[in-house]
Every structure is written in C-alpha cells, then in structure tokens.
Structure 1
C-alpha cells in the first residue's frame, strides 16, 4: 500500500501591495499578556523607513540580524538563550528580510520551546515540540523559505535544515512593495534559486502532479521575468513574489536536486551564499539539466550578472572531502535527481571532479 506524504503548509497567507500595513491587526490575536513579539529584521533595514513601520508595542523587541553569512546553529542558540533569559516566554517571532532571515525566524521559534541546541535538530522530523507563533515577511523573493518546512542552518559538522511539520510559518505576509528596489545581483541570485528549484523539481524522480502544477507555473513566471521582460517594474516584483511561493510549494511535495546538493558543500566550507552557490553550480550542470543550464546561461547574460568562477582553486584534499561529505549527506536530493541507485552514478570521485570545475 502506498504511503502518501501528509505535509504541513503555512496556516495563513496574505498577498497584495500594502498588505504589510495590516501586520499590527494580524498579530493582535496572537499576543499573550506580558510576552513580547520579537521582530527579527535583516540588518540592511536598520535606519531605513521599513524599520519605522514595524508595529512595536509594549516590551516588543526588534533585533537587527546579521545575515552577512547564512544562519549558524550557534547564532540561533545565542539569540534563543538571550531571549529566554530576558523575557522567559515570548508571544512570537516575526522574520522580516530575505531567505536567511526567514530561516532564522523559523529556527528561533522552534528553539524557544525545544531543549538543547538547534544542531540537535538538523535532519528530518527530529523536532519534538511546536515552536512559538511565527510570521514571515519576505523582502526578497526566490528562496521559497516563506513556505518551506525546513530552516537551513550551518552546524558544527554539516549544513542541513531542521525539516519538520513544526517548521512552517503560521502566517506569511506577501507584499510586493517590500521587494522593490532590491539590488540587481541580489534579486537575480534569489530569483535563480527559484528557477533552479523548478528545474530540479520538474526533472526529478519524485515528480508528481502536485509539485508539477506549482513548478510549471513558477518556471513560467521566471521565464517571463528573466527572459521576456526588458525592464524591471512592479509587475516583475508581483510575479517574482508568486514564483517564489509556487516554487517553494513545488519542492514541498518533491525535492530539489544536483545544484542544491553540491551548493550545500560550498556554503558549509566556503560560506558561499545559497543563491550564489546554486548559480555557480548550475553553470556546470549540462550533464544533468541540459536545457535548464542553457536557459540559465541566457538569463545570466540578459541580466548582466557575473557568476563567480574558480572558487575551489587551491583547496586541499581535506577541504574537498569536507564538501563532498556534506553534499553526499543530502540523500533525498540525490535520489530525486538521479534515482535510487544514485550512489552508483554520483561517486565521490565524480563529485570531486565537479567541485574542481567550480
């Protein structure tokens, strides 16, 4: 008898230009007496107009998070420890920023109620207790972090998500006004994260009509934005925000593949940002995604973005082994990409050769 996935989705979604203005109203029913709302905000917005629009009340706290590098388990543990010491309990965690801020907010919510270190929960279905209320408000679009059941963290020995039914947000606020004026490079890298999600999902062995429906729509939107349009406008922001949502949904019931599996190794060892790492890898995946890689290169050229090269030059055998270990640990990704016998196809030697090209 088949076993179907019964997966958890975001509880509430609000979409539309100006919807951020309803945040105070949305949070009101989730406030507990004396327990503050904690706003985790990308440090990019410190001193900017958006920071002044946050509906702070009473003993609420705004923490400008340093997301220069992707979230580390030690950073999550420190913030959680500080909040427990200062407040004991909180009403909720509100993440405002890009994918790293979204992941940080989800992880922090879980660590307010689960004992030990966030590193203890890196894996699938290890989280024991629901977190505190959490809301995600993306200011960049593409990662799908606003809808996923994972929060990707770099721990002492691996880069791996806290994948659980307790991870998705209770609420997301999708306001395309918030992603306007993002720097071209940053917008491109997060947009390509979405595009690559779609390529990997639509060509994966886990593909089904659920993931296919969302993946095809997200792919279509990415093609319209990055290939057909000549100028970036409000419509582009609207489409990219929905592409991110649909792309995230497409992998919720399937998986990503080779680009992500290899990119995790780069992030773990070199601190390469997720979207950048995916693009570096995707440039060399003709063997696995020939059409997607060719189209990706057209998008790179049209957007006038330079993808870093040679980042693995001069690495030692130990460093290559560290990346290979992290990457090979992403078993569901490899199985989705290459099938159940993936270990016969992607050997350590072959993976080493791929890293050497980057």
Structure 2
C-alpha cells in the first residue's frame, strides 16, 4: 500500500499580539530590493490603523485590498497575478494573505500561479501543479475555515467550484494571533466556526477515517462543543480556542476528506454565490439522515446563539439551475466516497439531491 506524503505548514507562530512580529519574520525572506512583499488584505481593514500600522512597507512592497464579499474566482486569481507581473520588476519575495478563508485562498493561489504557466482554472483538481509556489504567509483574521493549514485553495472557475489541491499549496509560514479575530460579527463568527464543526463531523464519520484524522478531528470537535455550547469562557479564551479548533479541523481533513455538506455547498456557491460558511450551515441543517448526531447538536448550537438561517434560497430555481448545482456537487467524487463509501452512486441519486436542495 502506498501512503500519501502530505506537506504541513513548516513554521507557525501562535499567541495574542504575535502579529507584531510580521516584519521580523519577513525581513530575512526578502530576495532583493526589486522583489516586493505583496500583502492581500481583506478590505474591511482598509481604514484600520490598529492593524495596518504594524506593517512596514519598504522598497516596492505594497498592499492590495481585496473584497471578501464574494467567493474567490479563478478569473480573480489570474487578474491579481497579471497585475503583479505588470507592476513588479522581479518576482515578489512573498505573498502575505491577511483575512478569512477567501483572502487566504487567494494568497495561496496567486503564489502558485506566479510560478506556473496558464490560468488558475487549469489547476483545479488534485496534484496538477508542477512548480513550487513562491514564499507565502497566511494570517487569519477569522477562525474556522482551516484555510491556514490546508493543502487546497478553493476557487470558483468557469465550469466548476474546486480547489487547487497540491503539495505546493500550504503556507510556508502562518501567524495565529487570536486578537485579530476580536471584531468578527456574531453571525460571521458562527458560520465560519460551523465550517470547522462540519469539517470534524464529516471527517470523523467518513469512510476515509484513520487515526491521524481522528486524533485532530476529535480535538477540534471537543473545542467546538466547548466554544459553542458552554457559557464559562471569556472572549479571549473563545477566540484562542476557535483558532486552534480551526487548525486541528483543517488538519483532520488533510489525511481524510469532507463530505456531503461541503459537496452540496459548493453547488450553492457556484450557482448562487452563497458564501462557504453559511452555505455549509444551510445544507447541514437538512442532513439529519446522513449525520444524525452532528445535525442534532448543530441545531442546538444554532438555537443557543439565536442564528436564523436564510430560507427558500432555492425556491425560484429552474430545473436547469438544479442540474447545474447537482453536477457541481457530484463532480466532487472523493467527498461522496468519504461520506457514503465506494458504492455511493447507488445510495445517492440526482432526484434525492434535488429534493434536498428544494428544501433549502
């Protein structure tokens, strides 16, 4: 049997205030005065001097503010890469992503596409990347997606929503400073936190499960239960614990896979542009037949935090629309196999999937 030889993030700094070390971390990585560091920062921080004042720009370094209102697209990656090539005298010294999953995925994708020919859509899939990415750093400002630790960068392309899954995708350096997550709005905190919770449920109940995944997944799940169901944690403790839950949840799927909620959420995202975290929640809410215990606890968490999920988002869709979503969901074969086993096509039909989407 051949075992997968996965890369992990080689360097990580953890702790409140650790973002202050950004400049000393990057300094030795500068290739030349012509090779800039390029920061992709979520545009919610555009006027945030508390965060921005800590970044020292020198030579040709620059900040690019990116909106995270929409899921990242392959065309957006291509545009960012083109801009960098046109504006820089040399290949950048590094790409630094500061934000949630969208910004982290864009940073990973751009760092790959700067050293690989063609368009981002050509690399959607598993192990298609030929050349190592340039140096890239991930600094999450919201916890849950696991994007800071995963070997994928999830992108919506012209034909599908699928990640660039490769050994060159993971960050070279991650800074986990939970203080950066202190201003996340309540709903967003819940949806992204539930992305982590759903990672754990799908990994721990899947057919791909192994002790590596189980160890990380169990740890992340225990943290999620503590964060979302107990009342005795301070804000700081919750922020720190969710940051670690996100990390461990991301690790739990490195050696296994996610499942039905993610596959179906990709369909919603591709057709309707539904953001990943909330999309997972909308789908997972209807999956009690597949994850009975997980969904039961999810509904309790939802009630406890007074979260109202959007209803009827699929109410006015045509048969063609449903077909599009089903095609995207079914294209993610490893997710279905993890959830339902090798003969998953006998268990789940297009009609079943359509009926589920119609409930949403």
TM-score by length of 1: 0.98
Structure-2 residue corresponding to 1:61: 62
SS in 2 for 1:172: strand
| Matched positions, count | 357
C-alpha displacement at 1:59, in angstroms? 1.1
C-alpha displacement at 1:346, in angstroms? 1.1
SS in 2 for 1:29: helix
- For the residues of structure 1 that align with 2:352 and 2:107, how far apart are their CA atoms? 36
Structure-2 residue corresponding to 1:40: 40
Structure-2 residue corresponding to 1:201: 203
Structure-1 residue corresponding to 2:9: 10
Structure-1 residue corresponding to 2:288: 286
C-alpha displacement at 1:304, in angstroms? 1.2
Structure-2 residue corresponding to 1:263: 265
- For the residues of structure 1 that align with 2:246 and 2:307, how far apart are their CA atoms? 20
Deviations 1:76-123 (CA, angstroms, capped at 9, x unpaired): 100100100111411110000001000000000001111111000000
Query: Mean alpha-carbon deviation: is it higher for 53-62 or for 249-258?
Result: 53-62
Structure-2 residue corresponding to 1:277: 279
Unaligned runs of 5+ in 2: none
Structure-2 residue corresponding to 1:143: 145
C-alpha displacement at 1:3, in angstroms? 1.4
SS in 1 for 2:164: strand
Q: Which aligned pairs between 1:1-358 and structure 2 lie closer than 5 A?
A: 2-33=1-32, 34-48=34-48, 49-87=50-88, 88-229=90-231, 233-358=235-360
- For the residues of structure 1 that align with 2:223 and 2:57, how far apart are their CA atoms? 35
Unaligned runs of 5+ in 1: none
C-alpha displacement at 1:205, in angstroms? 0.2
- For the residues of structure 1 that align with 2:337 and 2:189, how far apart are their CA atoms? 30
C-alpha displacement at 1:231, in angstroms? 6.3
C-alpha displacement at 1:328, in angstroms? 0.1
Query: Mean alpha-carbon deviation: is it higher for 281-290 or for 51-60?
Result: 51-60
- Write out the 4+ residue segments of structure 1 that deviate beyond 2 Å after TM superposition: 229-232
- For the residues of structure 2 that align with 1:176 and 1:257, how far apart are their CA atoms? 28
C-alpha displacement at 1:133, in angstroms? 0.3
C-alpha displacement at 1:230, in angstroms? 5.8
- For the residues of structure 1 that align with 2:14 and 2:119, how far apart are their CA atoms? 34
CA contact (8 A) 2:200 2:217 kept: yes
SS in 2 for 1:149: coil
**Aligned alpha-carbon RMSD (Å):** 0.9
C-alpha displacement at 1:229, in angstroms? 2.2
